[in-house]
Amino acid sequence: MVVSAEPGPVVVRVENVSKSFQIRKDNTLKDRVFHLGKLGREHRERFTAVDDVTLDIQAGTTVGLLGANGSGKSTLLKLIGGILAPTSGAIFARGRMAALLELGAGFHPDLSGRENVYLNAAILGLSKEEVDKQFDAIHEFSGIGEFIDSQVKFYSSGMFVRLAFAVAVHTDPDVLLVDEVLAVGDEAFQRKCMERIAQFRAEGRTIVLVSHSASQVQELCDRAVVLKDGEVVFDGDVNDGVAVLRQVLEGRRLGDVHDEESGLPIEVTGITLFDADGIETDSVRVGDPLVLRINVRANQPMARWATGFSIDTTLGQMTIASNTERLGVTLPAIPAGDTHFDFRIEQVFLGAGQYYINANVSEVIDINSDVLMQGKMFSVEDTTTTLGSVAARITAAA
């Protein structure tokens, strides 16, 4: 993720915006005929897709809208783009806005791709003369070749989005709205789209992106907004936002401990981290040591026991794991009560970013284990020129 420079002026302002829809419960024709003349309200209900959202988006920033299906992120993007009108609240925007919200939006199925380029560009605010100058570049970027003169109703969904994206990015937009379209098309075209978005970022344009791909948001965005049930539950750093999204999807809170007795003889009660000086910490620099303390509670005297840990990325990918058995450590007998065990990582070579620590404890590894998932989050700090979940010192030579 590349952090943007000093934020510019506000180009999109969302003030206390809500959007509600009326949903019919009598979906079939038979139901509607049967209920004809009866009180309509009994068979309709209001659904609030966006609930009292307030946001300011500064010029030159790339904002990722995250959330589970039905969280309201696509509806919010359509409200920002003027496709939908809010039920309450107000939205203010300035500058030329290009929106890629639905496949083929603004395309006429009976017109050719060439004709739709001019039609779609006109909707986005370009004159015929401006499109004439850009047409060859649009055609080349889309990569649809001779199909440019075929009716778009014969296009595949990938061809639709190729042409739509090509038109949008050549309209010289100040604000670009993108909703999941980068998931369509082959890998080469997706990479071309992401490179163009990166170019827009470098040029100081504003991008608002909806994506289910957390890694894509982490790569492209410098701010994340997480929605749940139409409400903003997080607005800030991208890595923090991805972590919050994961918690929302799992329906849990970070470090939740057992609400009920597990019935196991020994349980994990928490995870604590310490730096090289024995000071409790939530961060570490690449190459520095880190001590992971697994706090446990024995519900009865234990003649033998074992414990272990794993470290995951915010996307759930395991980066490293170990346990006392693998390390050849035999733990001493303990009485009932609280105790702990420390794992020392001599040098942390994880890439810069945030990570979860999971812990487990049992009489014998992998048998009747008590597991605490995401018991601790910590960050790895570095200024290296590498990306990914592994850190390395790299030099370049001609």
pLDDT in tens, 126-156: 888 988 999 999 999 888 889 999 998 888 8
Instruction: Map out the domains of the chain with their CATH numbers.
Output: 10-250 (3.40.50.300), 266-381 (2.70.50.60)
Out of 183-197, 228-242, 253-267, the most confident range is 228-242
User: For residues 127 and 124, what is the distance between their CA atoms, to the nearest angstrom?
Assistant: 9
Per-residue model confidence (pLDDT) at position 259: 44
Q: What is the mean pLDDT of residues 299-308?
A: 92
Give every CB contact of residue 397 below 8 A, 6+ residues apart in sequence. Answer: none
Q: Are strands 306-313 and 223-228 parallel, antiparallel or unpaired?
A: unpaired
Chain segment 46-102, per-residue pLDDT in tens: 888 899 999 999 998 999 998 877 788 889 998 998 888 999 999 999 888 887 776
User: For residues 129 and 378, what is the distance between their CA atoms, to the nearest angstrom?
Assistant: 55
Cα torsion angle, 242, 244, 245, 250, sign: positive
Q: What is the mean pLDDT of residues 364-368?
A: 62
Per-residue model confidence (pLDDT) at position 105: 61
Per-residue model confidence (pLDDT) at position 325: 87
pTM: 0.61
Mean pLDDT of the chain: 82
Per-residue model confidence (pLDDT) at position 254: 47
Per-residue model confidence (pLDDT) at position 247: 72
